[in-house]
């Protein structure tokens, strides 16, 4: 299955989509692991679990922040960003 990923700063410039091939039925962890092959800077943001990883980065599909139990489907368009804080 193919999914498309766009990396926003500081991970990437956010202007292009990267095509990622994954085995059918893959989840978010498999996507992030595969992404580290082409974007090694993401590895330092991965934690032992997805729950902890989601404190370091956001995985977004169609304006929805994905959670650990969300599934990927072919041709998903996923945006990866850092969480924003401020006040």
Q: How confident is the model at residue 83 (pLDDT cuts 50, 70, 90)?
A: confident
pLDDT of 69 strictly over 60: yes
pLDDT of 86 strictly over 80: no
Give whole-number Cα distances, 21 to 13, 24, 25, 49, 81, in Å: 21, 9, 12, 22, 20
DSSP-based helix, strand, coil % in the chain, nearest 5: 25, 25, 50
Position 84 scores a pLDDT of 77
Would you identify the CATH topology of the domain 2-81?
A: Ubiquitin-like (UB roll) (3.10.20)
pLDDT of 71 strictly over 60: yes
- Kindly list the domain boundaries of the chain, sorted by start residue: 2-81
pLDDT digits (tens, 9 = 90+) for 23-64: 998 999 999 999 999 889 889 989 998 889 888 899 999 989
């Amino acid at each position: 299955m193919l999914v498309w990923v766009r990396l926003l700063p500081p991970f990437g410039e956010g202007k292009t989509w990267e095509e990622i091939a994954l085995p059918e039925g893959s989840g978010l962890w498999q996507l992030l692991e595969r992404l580290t092959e082409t974007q090694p800077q993401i590895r330092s943001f991965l934690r032992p679990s997805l729950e902890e990883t989601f404190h370091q980065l956001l995985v977004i599909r169609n304006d929805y922040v994905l959670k650990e139990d969300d599934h990927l489907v072919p041709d998903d368009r996923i945006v990866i960003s850092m969480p924003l804080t401020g006040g």
